[in-house]
């Protein structure tokens, strides 16, 4: 069984891992219960070792199965769009 991780991404591409879980649902529950810490790391992704397992609502499900590093590079390339997406100002601009 693959351990799931909740990876939180800042608009500049910095990441933190917010825990390891047995199920994707447990990871998303943790995401919902983070309190104010989500402010600095507003983009949440569920991963396995290096691959994306699930994406939040509004982000393309085409990311599933792709490398987390690819998504992070896209976020780093356009920090302003990442911030606008995280603030709910625009739809997710990142596609694989």
Measured distance CA(12)–CA(78) in Å, rounded? 8
Q: What angle do CA 78, 80, 76 make, to 5 degrees?
A: 35
**Host domain of residue 44:** 4-86
Q: For position 34, what pLDDT does the model report? A: 81
Number of domains in the chain: 1
Q: Is residue 76 part of a domain?
A: yes
**Residue 80 confidence class, pLDDT cut points 50, 70, 90:** very high
Q: Tell me if 7 sits within 8 A of 44, measured CB to CB.
A: yes
Q: For position 12, what pLDDT does the model report? A: 92
Q: Is residue 54 part of a domain?
A: yes
Q: Is residue 95 part of a domain?
A: no
**Residue 91 confidence class, pLDDT cut points 50, 70, 90:** very high
Q: Is residue 93 part of a domain?
A: no
**Residue 23 confidence class, pLDDT cut points 50, 70, 90:** very high
């Amino acid at each position: 069984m693959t351990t799931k991780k909740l990876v939180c991404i800042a608009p500049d591409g910095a990441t933190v891992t917010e825990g390891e879980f047995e199920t994707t649902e447990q990871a998303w529950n943790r995401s919902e219960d983070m309190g104010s810490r989500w402010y600095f790391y507003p983009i949440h992704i569920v991963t396995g070792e290096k691959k994306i397992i699930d994406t939040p609502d509004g982000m393309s499900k085409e990311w599933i199965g792709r490398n987390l590093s690819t998504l992070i590079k896209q976020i780093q390339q356009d920090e302003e769009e990442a911030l606008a997406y995280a603030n709910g100002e625009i739809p997710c601009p990142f596609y694989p």
